[in-house]
Structure 1
Amino acid sequence: MNYRIRIIKITAQITAKQPLYLVLRLFFLVVSLAFYFLFLFLVYVFLFIFCSTLVSMVVTDFLSYLQLDNVSAGLTEWKGLLSDYWTRFSSHCKQAESIHIHQVEKMLEKTFGAMLFGSLPDNNRACPSCMEGNLIFKVSRYGAGYFIGCDQHPKCRYIAKSLYGEEEEDDDVPQKKHPVEEPKLLGLHPVSNEKILLKSGPYGFYVQLGEDRKGFLPKRASVSHFKDVDAITLENALEWLRYPVTLGKHPKDGQPVIIKLGNAGFSVRHRRSIVPVPKNTKPEHITMDKALKLLSSNNVRLCGRPKAKPKLEEALEAM
C-alpha cells in the first residue's frame, strides 16, 4: 500500500511543477478520442448505407437466431447453428468487400458534404490550382486517411491541407506562387549524355538519370532532404547520383561500409547497422575512420531483418 501512496505523491509533485505537461496530456487524449469516435461514426455510416442487412444480422438476428437459452440447456446443437449463421454472415461480408472504394467516397461525400465543403465561399468547389477540376472527397491509397483533392488527378495534384478544403497558411514559410512542374529537365549527364530529370513520387521529389524504360530501372536519388526544390541544379543532381559510395571494408568482418542517400538524408551503413551523417558534416568529408566512429556511437540503429541461418547450421547448433 505504501508504494501506491508514493506514486500518488510523485504524480502530484510532477503535476505541481509541470502543469503544462498535464494540460498537454489531456489535450492529446481529447484529440485522440475525437478522431477515434469520428472513425467509428464513419464505419457506422458505411455499414448502415451499404450493409444494413449485415448490421441487422449482428445486432438482432445473431442473438435471436442462436437461441442461446436452448443452446445452454443442451436442447440445440450449437455447431450446426454456428455453421448456418456463418454461411449467411460470410456471404454478406463478401458482398461488402465487393463495394468499390469510389462508391464509398461518393457516399461519404454525399452524407457529409455540408461539413466537408460548407466553409467554401458560395459553395464553390472549383480547384484553386488548375481552375478546371472540382474538389472532391477521397480516401488515401492505402486507406490510412482521407483528404480533399482535385478530381483531375493525376493531371492536377492539388490537395487541400485541411479537411474542409481550406489551405492552411504558414507565416514562417513563404508561399510559392508557381509549384515545380515535373518532370523537370535539369540537364544532360556529361559522360553518358542522358537526361537528368527532377521528378515527384509518393515519397517526395527525386532526381533520375535517364528516362523511364520498360524492363529497366533508372538510377535515382532522393532529394527530400533538400528544402528548396526550385534551387536544385544539375551539379546537385550529379553529386547525389554518385551515391551509394563504398568507403571500404569493415576491419571486423570484411563487410562493406557504405554512405547512402535516402529520404532522411545521408547515412553510413554497415550490414544492418545504420547511422545518420551529422548535419554539420558534408558526406564527401566522411572517411573510413569517421564512418567507423559513427558506427560505434549511440546513434546507431538496426534496419531490416536478420538473415535466416541455413537449416544445416540450425541442425548442427541443435545437436
Structure 2
Amino acid sequence: RLFPEDKGRIVTIFLLNFFRKYVGYEFTANLEEELDEISAGDLNYKEVLARFWRDFSAAIGETSELRISEVLDRLDEALAPQLYPPREDGSDPRACPVCGSGSLHLKTSRTGGFVGCSNYPECRYTRPIGGEEQGGGDRVLGEDNGDEISLRSGRFGPYVQRGEATEENKKPPRASLPKGWDAATLDLERALMLLSLPREVGKHPEDGQPISANFGRFGPYLMHQKPDEAKPVYANLKDPNDVFEIGMNRAVELVDHKRANPGRGRGSAAKPVRELGEHPEKGGALNVMEGRYGPYVKWEKVNATLPKEMTPESITIEQAVALVEEKAAKGGKKTAKKAPAKKTTAKKTAAKKAPAKKAATKTASGETDA
C-alpha cells in the first residue's frame, strides 16, 4: 500500500491550486496525443516545446510573484477539512490545544509542512500535517517513578517524553520513534525501552570497554571504542528490535568485523586488492582496486575497468599498462601531455646553447683576422 507523506500532500495541493491546467486530465491527454504525432513524424517537437514553455513560463512568473504567506494561506484553506476536522465537543478545530488562545495554521520549514500555533514562539505547539489521523496525537501512556510518560507529535515525527519541561529541567528526556514503529499502538513498556537508551549490551572480552546499542540518524547501530582508539567504531544493525535484543556474541562479532573492514569512509582512501608494481615506462604504482561496479586498475588519476575475462588475480602488469593507456587515450588524461612537456624543455635548452656556440665561432674568427 502507498501512504501519502506530508510533503506529498503539500505538493499536490500546491499544483492543484497554482498549476491546475498541467495536472488536469485534458492537458495530459492532449499532450499524449501530440507525443504520438511527434513519434509518427506528423508534428514538429520544437513547436510543441515552444508552445508548452510559453504558457508554462508565464504561469511560473505569476506564481513567483506571490509571497510565501499568500501561498500558505491558500494551501491552508484547501487543506482545512483534513487539517482541522470537527471536534466531538463542538469547539473550534483551529484552536491551539496547548495555549488555548492561539490559532492553528499551516507552516513550512526545511523538513516540510506542519501545523503550528500562531502564538509562536510563546507557544511551541506543532504537529504533523497528518495529525491524529496518523496516530500521532499527544496522549499519556502512563507513569514511571512519578513521571508522566507521554507520546507527542513534533515536526520531525512522533516521540516519547518523560515528564514536562520546567525551569530546572528545560529539556526533559525524549526519544523519537524508530522507523516501522506505529505511534497508534505504542504502549508504556516500549516507550520506557526507548527512553532507557543507549543500552549497554556488555563489555568487550578483549578490552573490557562497553558495547552499546542505540538509534541514530541513519538507523540502529552498535558502538564500541578501544582505549587506544581516537574514534569509536559504529556497526549498523538491520532490525530496529536488535537494539533491545542483540546478545554479546553477535555484538562482538559485528563490531570486530566492522573494525577489520572499515570500508571507505569520507576522506579515507581505498586499499588495493592487488599491487602490480610500477609502470615500466612512466613510473607510478599500478594497483588493482575493488569498486562499486567491479574491479579496476588504477594508475595515478586513470581508472580502467577490468574486462570480464580478466580477474584481479590473473591480470598481468602488461595487460594493466595496456588498459590504462587505452583509457587515458580515450579520456584525454594528463598522461598524454607529459611527452610534449619534455620536448618543449629540450627545445628551450637547445635554443640557449646555439647562440653560445655562434658567439664562440665569431670570437675565434676575430682572433684569426687579428
TM-score interval, smaller chain: 0.3 to 0.5
Larger gyration radius, structure 1 or structure 2: 2
Q: Which structure is higher in strand share?
A: 2
